Structure 1
Amino acid sequence: MVYPFSAVVGMDDMRLALLLNAVSPAVGGVLVRGEKGTAKSTAVRALAAVLPPVAVVAGCRFGCDPAAPDPACPDGPHPADGPGAQRPARLVELPVGASEDRLVGSLDIERALTEGVKSFEPGLLAGAHRGVLYVDEVNLLHDHLVDLLLDAAALGRAYVEREGVSVQHAARFLLVGTMNPEEGELRPQLLDRFGLTVEVAAPREPGLRAEVVRRRFAADADPTGFEARWADEERELADRIAAARELLPRVELGDAALDQVTAVCAAFGVDGLRADIVTARAAIAHAAWCGRDQVIEDDVRVAARLALPHRRRRNPFDAPGLDEDTLEQALDDARPEPDGDPDPDDTPPEGGGSPEDGGPQDGSHQDGSPQDGGRPQDDASSGDTREPTTAPRGDAADPDAPRTEAAPAPEQPAVAPDQAFRARRLEVPGTGAGVAGRRSKARSERGRVVGSTRPAGAVTRLHLVDTVVAAAPHQRERGRTGPGLRLERGDLRQAELEGREGNLVLFVLDASGSMGSRTRVAAVKGAVLSLLTDAYQRRDKVGLVTFRGEGAELALPPTWSVEAAAARLTDLPTGGRSPIAAGLLRAHETLRVERVRDPRRRPLLVVVTDGRATGARGTDHLAQAHRAAGLLQAAGTASVVVDCESGFVQLGLAQVLGAHLGGQVLRMEELGALVQDMKDAA
């Protein structure tokens, strides 16, 4: 059973965004962001049931429109007056682990070379043509698949190239992606390719939550009866979508409305002009959805709330959002002046108008659907403004307490990181075979050709030169008499590609009092934040271990959510002793578990410390730290030590720790990519 779209409780922004794209697929699709268990997938799967049926050429695997068949269709050419048929709009789901051939389709290269037959097997893009392509957990999709997917969505065509054999076909679809931000973000340039984005969360009102549970139980108990109960609403919704599609070409975007669109986009400082185009298309679709043939201010307001939040981000860790005051001010500034001199007493207050002049009061659309306002600005982003606290140091607080080798510094409140910078690329030595990414060298599905092998199964990436070389010595015994080359299955060679992989970057951060002043701590956090930003851009998995006081803590288990790591870093207090051994042992155990869970992903350990190990008297803490480092080296863990030592007297303890880890040692000032570029140039 497909849960009825009309039966979804709440989620008004998500439903409206999906419906606007159903009316006008040119809007560019929807990205639905939200916590788990918020009916994201349920709503998307339910959408296809209310879309109008599609007329297709009979027998065409690519869903060509009989009124305008694709002249380049691999199943064509189709006669303009050929037989047609109707089928429901399709919902095609793209699995996260799909291959490139599964997405765009594949050529049978063996038949093409040995038999001269161009045999093409359509992929998911062909099946989604004139329907819905749904990607659940789109943030976990491999980058090369996302690139192919979004290129097809932008161009409306899919291309398959294999060693001189080329196939293309139409691929116009409604692209819908869902994701949980806790599991990692999309790259900003990919995020911008989605037309609209919405944030969803479970309702907090007990009554709404109870209604969700009630409907779910009713659907599970009697699927047929539940569908029949909502059949009328589903038909009305389908009819309204069809009517809006018919009205859409006649909707006029006047100069006044266009001025408001561009004024709003300029007010939020979005990059490029895609935001203006998407906002205008969404406003036109909303007008058609409301049954109007003219775009009005409310259409622009609704479109801006859906099209701009994810386009005004300035760094990877900023949450999408839209300031309502800025939106209303931009609309007001672009609003045409009425005829005659305006009365100063009638000027609406800044940030919105009164009910008489159409200003928003409760955040609702004209058609009655509520609209979520912009997110409030996060005060924490402006930095920590609290005054530093004072506390007695070490033994002075309690004269009777046992003395230690080094008196621990008092715990300090969390300090905001300094400004992030572009970090140099830290790599795992050697060549891996992990998942696609942008950090360390690896055998992968994309990259430069470095060799060839005999294929164990079907050939997907032919190494043409090596194939010819393998077949050439056997041409006489195979009876070749003409100019053609006689090939057999054993001659085929599969190309080996070398690209980049994503790694598990595990940070081990010294949060003890030896890290120094609040200024120094802020600089260290800024450096780690820069490395986190670099990990985000290189599609790495990240984790965070901190140590201070009496032990170590796994502050963030390995995850794709670099945002969560950045938040933990910002809120991290400092102070106390420096149990480096405990931190390294916790890292060793964390990596051991991750090797079992994700054996293909190679780890990179980044230890941020000044190398000083302190604790109770009578224990050789440096020796313990060095033994723990030896365990990590013996396990083959690639590591980098970031030396944070400062001051006139420097002991070089981080250098010694790096030697025991068998890794690279960098000063904090050497983390910048500009420094590395200058060294390479020299």
Structure 2
Amino acid sequence: MTTPWARALRVAGLAAADPQGCGGVLLRAGAGPVRDLWLERLRAAMRPGSPWRRMPAGIADDRLLGGLDLAATLAAGRPVAEAGLLAETDGGLLVVPMAERLTAATAARLAAALDTGRVGAAWDGSPARIGLLLLDEGTGEDERVPEALADRLAFHLDLTGVTWGETGVAAEDPAPYSVEDDPAPDPAADLCAAAEALGVASLRAPLLALRIARLAAARAGRRTVAAEDVREAAGLVLAPRATRLPPPVQDDAEARPEPAPAEAPSGSAEADDRSSSQTESVVEAARAAIPADLLAGLVAAQGRSVAPRAGKAGAMQRATRSGRPAGTRPGHPREGRLALIATLRAAAPWQRLRKAADPSGGGLRVQASDFRIIRFRQRSETTTIFAVDASGSAALERLAEAKGAVELLLAEAYVRRDKVALVAFRGAGAEIVLPPTRALARARRGLAALPGGGGTPLASGLDLAAGLACAVRRSGGSATLVVLTDGRANVARSGAPGRAEAGADALHAAGLLRGAGIRTLLIDTASRPQDAARRLADAMGARYLPLPHADAAAMSTAIRAAG
């Protein structure tokens, strides 16, 4: 398994042999011939007759979990159950396209099926012994498969760098391990040590690796787990989850304590040495299997949150009349849109009792308690508010970069529900130069007329920007504040000059921002990082970013990466 494609074929063989035991595969790859070929190899490796189902996007709970067959129930006059997709996939693999867009509710349903092997409650639900094939088609770090599902799958496979020319490797298992007298003395301990060395915090990871080691041994015809099986499992399961590089193994004879001259090495000491060497070999195998670009991406992603970002869709909020359907709930049609099918499903089981209680009428008996209305979720607007220090001799340069960053973000506002606003502070106060807008022509006109120079009323600028952000939130949107300043205030709230009072007012305004819970990024625009700007960022709970030489493109990228 020296090439990524050979490793991918090995994963396909193991996952097909025991889908439920493996949990499944998280496959990161865009649509294309390489992914299609791997899916064909996986399906061909499964046992004949094993179910292979594909889950539609936005699937409803009654189709996923099963529920009432409305037509059969109305025809029979009694409740008739209908199997859901999970029960139909019992013993096979469920393919989930665009898994990075799964809702939390659907991810919870799938995770429960993996844990219990049944639909619904473990004691009365239908069997659902399934494995999952999550197709991660996300294009950025902000699109991720829910961690609750990814943690339950043994294999995390990335085919984004595999070309069609590399797919000529035959789909064969490795040759059986030839050293019969080299069993793994304690595979669970070795895998736990490897997980700790790689920075894998999940307890499921070494347990899944142990299952894979046992599965590999069984496929090779061995009754016991060999050392090679443990090393392979560490490379396939633990390496893709690594968050740090393990320390290199020190091969220094002087570092090991020597036994006393009069004492011979005991059997227990020899066993300890062998166990230590075995653990080191497992860690080294996992280290060698870590993808080259994995750790660089993890370091770049540290410190980011999943909150809505500038230039991205806003946070999901509940709505009553419009948005994306998100199930149903009991309610009156005056409170929302009537869900007719769900209402009929709720009323169907009670028809025999209601007709027996009142045989005079005919047709379907629907009561107020049966009414179901549709629940909607829609994304709120995201507004990025730039608070720009327009004072001093360097104002023109700062304003030019702010104008460029605003225009870059506005270019994306035509396809996303977000807006941009601009607050400038100089002289004795602050002003809203550009109210929240997505109109590019209007923004350019407002930015072109913005003057610069004068004192630095930093507190007034923060107060005005905070008020604008709170107004955006009251209107149902979400706001991100980007402050461009060197942090050196010299005009107080009252308009009086003086660095001491102005600095105290600025820290007080920063504390109010932190208390309001406004997501904030502070960009230090000084020629070199300033302690005053760092203290200000700490006071407002903002991410501090020194960009003394940033152009508009770099600034726009930093704003998207903040959050």
Fold conserved between structures, TM > 0.5: yes
Equivalences for residues 76-95 of structure 1 within 5 A? 88-95=49-56
Q: Which of residues 329, 342, 346 is equivalent to 1:459?
A: 342
Instruction: Give the letter aligned to residue 12 of structure 2.
Output: L
The answer (yes or no) to whether the contact 1:325–1:351 under 8 Å persists in 2 is no
Q: Which of residues 71, 78, 89 is equivalent to 1:117?
A: 78
Aligned to 1:19: 13
User: For residues 194 and 306 of structure 2, what CA distance do their matches in structure 1 show?
Assistant: 31
Equivalences for residues 505-654 of structure 1 within 5 A? 506=382, 508=384, 510=386, 576-577=398-399, 590-594=412-416, 603=417, 605=419, 611-612=424-425, 625-626=434-435, 628=437, 649-652=458-461
User: For residues 433 and 196 of structure 1, what CA distance do their matches in structure 2 show?
Assistant: 41
Aligned to 2:144: 185
Note the alpha carbon deviations across 1:55-93, whole angstroms, 9 max, x for none: xxxxxxxxxxxxxxxxxxxxxxxxxxxxxxxxx323211
Q: Which of residues 74, 97, 102 is equivalent to 1:141?
A: 102
Task: Please state whether the residue corresponding to 1:171 is helix, strand or coil.
Answer: coil
The answer (yes or no) to whether the contact 1:21–1:30 under 8 Å persists in 2 is yes
Report the alpha carbon displacement of residue 284 of structure 1 after superposing the two structures with TM.
0.8
The answer (yes or no) to whether the contact 1:41–1:178 under 8 Å persists in 2 is no
Aligned to 2:161: 202
Report the alpha carbon displacement of residue 120 of structure 1 after superposing the two structures with TM.
2.6
Note the alpha carbon deviations across 1:279-317, whole angstroms, 9 max, x for none: 110111122233333212332222123323565xxxxxx
Task: Please state whether the residue corresponding to 1:625 is helix, strand or coil.
Answer: strand
1:39 equivalent in alignment to 2:39: no
User: For residues 185 and 494 of structure 1, what CA distance do their matches in structure 2 show?
Assistant: 36
Change (3 A) 1:463 1:586: farther
1:444 equivalent in alignment to 2:323: no
Aligned to 2:238: 308
Task: Please state whether the residue corresponding to 1:159 is helix, strand or coil.
Answer: coil
Q: Compute the TM-score of the two structures, normalised by the length of structure 1.
A: 0.50
User: For residues 506 and 138 of structure 1, what CA distance do their matches in structure 2 show?
Assistant: 24
1:49 equivalent in alignment to 2:10: no
Equivalences for residues 642-681 of structure 1 within 5 A? 649-652=458-461, 655=464, 663-664=472-473, 669=511
Note the alpha carbon deviations across 1:158-205, whole angstroms, 9 max, x for none: 1399xxxx97321112321121342510232332122221222334xx
Equivalences for residues 103-114 of structure 1 within 5 A? 103-109=64-70, 112=73
Q: Give the length in aligned residue pairs.
A: 441
- Unpaired runs of 5+ residues, structure 1, are 1-8, 54-87, 216-229, 245-251, 312-319, 364-370, 383-415, 437-442, 480-485, 517-547, 551-574, 595-602, 615-620, 634-645, 677-682
Report the alpha carbon displacement of residue 269 of structure 1 after superposing the two structures with TM.
4.8
The answer (yes or no) to whether the contact 1:33–1:200 under 8 Å persists in 2 is yes
Aligned to 1:294: 224
User: For residues 109 and 160 of structure 1, what CA distance do their matches in structure 2 show?
Assistant: 23
The answer (yes or no) to whether the contact 2:466–2:513 under 8 Å persists in 1 is no
The answer (yes or no) to whether the contact 1:581–1:625 under 8 Å persists in 2 is no
Q: Which of residues 495, 500, 508 is equivalent to 2:372?
A: 495
Task: Please state whether the residue corresponding to 1:287 is helix, strand or coil.
Answer: helix
The answer (yes or no) to whether the contact 1:93–1:134 under 8 Å persists in 2 is yes
Report the alpha carbon displacement of residue 12 of structure 1 after superposing the two structures with TM.
2.4
Q: Which of residues 99, 124, 129 is equivalent to 2:90?
A: 129
Note the alpha carbon deviations across 1:409-461, whole angstroms, 9 max, x for none: xxxxxxx99x668979997888355666xxxxxx7316x64435785652368
Change (3 A) 1:254 1:672: farther
Instruction: Give the letter aligned to residue 378 of structure 1.
Output: A
The answer (yes or no) to whether the contact 1:41–1:136 under 8 Å persists in 2 is no
Note the alpha carbon deviations across 1:374-431, whole angstroms, 9 max, x for none: 656439949xxxxxxxxxxxxxxxxxxxxxxxxxxxxxxxxx99x6689799978883
Report the alpha carbon displacement of residue 44 of structure 1 after superposing the two structures with TM.
2.2
Instruction: Give the letter aligned to residue 39 of structure 1.
Output: V
The answer (yes or no) to whether the contact 1:32–1:178 under 8 Å persists in 2 is yes
User: For residues 114 and 30 of structure 2, what CA distance do their matches in structure 1 show?
Assistant: 26
User: For residues 327 and 432 of structure 1, what CA distance do their matches in structure 2 show?
Assistant: 60
Q: Compute the TM-score of the two structures, normalised by the length of structure 2.
A: 0.59
Change (3 A) 1:258 1:456: closer
Identity across aligned pairs (percent)?
Answer: 19
Aligned to 1:475: 358
User: For residues 424 and 182 of structure 1, what CA distance do their matches in structure 2 show?
Assistant: 16
User: For residues 476 and 381 of structure 1, what CA distance do their matches in structure 2 show?
Assistant: 71
Aligned to 1:367: none
Instruction: Give the letter aligned to residue 54 of structure 2.
Output: E
User: For residues 211 and 147 of structure 1, what CA distance do their matches in structure 2 show?
Assistant: 37
Instruction: Give the letter aligned to residue 508 of structure 1.
Output: T
Aligned to 2:205: 275
Instruction: Give the letter aligned to residue 495 of structure 1.
Output: R
Instruction: Give the letter aligned to residue 11 of structure 2.
Output: A
User: For residues 400 and 198 of structure 2, what CA distance do their matches in structure 1 show?
Assistant: 46
1:431 equivalent in alignment to 2:312: no
The answer (yes or no) to whether the contact 1:352–1:359 under 8 Å persists in 2 is yes
Task: Please state whether the residue corresponding to 1:308 is helix, strand or coil.
Answer: helix
Report the alpha carbon displacement of residue 274 of structure 1 after superposing the two structures with TM.
1.8
Aligned to 1:249: none
1:168 equivalent in alignment to 2:125: yes
Aligned to 2:521: none
Instruction: Give the letter aligned to residue 464 of structure 2.
Output: Q
Change (3 A) 1:37 1:283: same
User: For residues 209 and 298 of structure 2, what CA distance do their matches in structure 1 show?
Assistant: 30
Task: Please state whether the residue corresponding to 2:373 is helix, strand or coil.
Answer: strand
The answer (yes or no) to whether the contact 2:195–2:201 under 8 Å persists in 1 is no
Instruction: Give the letter aligned to residue 47 of structure 2.
Output: P
Task: Please state whether the residue corresponding to 1:96 is helix, strand or coil.
Answer: coil
User: For residues 111 and 292 of structure 1, what CA distance do their matches in structure 2 show?
Assistant: 51
- Unpaired runs of 5+ residues, structure 2, are 177-181, 257-264, 443-454, 474-478, 482-508, 519-563
The answer (yes or no) to whether the contact 1:33–1:180 under 8 Å persists in 2 is yes
Instruction: Give the letter aligned to residue 576 of structure 1.
Output: R
User: For residues 375 and 339 of structure 2, what CA distance do their matches in structure 1 show?
Assistant: 19
Aligned to 1:257: 187
Change (3 A) 1:128 1:349: closer
User: For residues 368 and 278 of structure 2, what CA distance do their matches in structure 1 show?
Assistant: 75
Report the alpha carbon displacement of residue 40 of structure 1 after superposing the two structures with TM.
2.7
Report the alpha carbon displacement of residue 654 of structure 1 after superposing the two structures with TM.
6.4
Aligned to 1:30: 25
Change (3 A) 1:14 1:505: farther
Instruction: Give the letter aligned to residue 119 of structure 2.
Output: A
Task: Please state whether the residue corresponding to 1:92 is helix, strand or coil.
Answer: strand
User: For residues 159 and 512 of structure 1, what CA distance do their matches in structure 2 show?
Assistant: 54
Change (3 A) 1:348 1:199: same
Note the alpha carbon deviations across 1:568-595, whole angstroms, 9 max, x for none: xxxxxxx63158777667666644434x
Report the alpha carbon displacement of residue 278 of structure 1 after superposing the two structures with TM.
0.8
Task: Please state whether the residue corresponding to 2:129 is helix, strand or coil.
Answer: coil
Task: Please state whether the residue corresponding to 2:189 is helix, strand or coil.
Answer: helix
Note the alpha carbon deviations across 1:328-348, whole angstroms, 9 max, x for none: 99xxx9xxx994867xx9999
Instruction: Give the letter aligned to residue 150 of structure 2.
Output: L
User: For residues 578 and 144 of structure 1, what CA distance do their matches in structure 2 show?
Assistant: 45
Q: Which of residues 314, 318, 323 is equivalent to 2:245?
A: 323
Report the alpha carbon displacement of residue 260 of structure 1 after superposing the two structures with TM.
0.9
Task: Please state whether the residue corresponding to 2:221 is helix, strand or coil.
Answer: coil
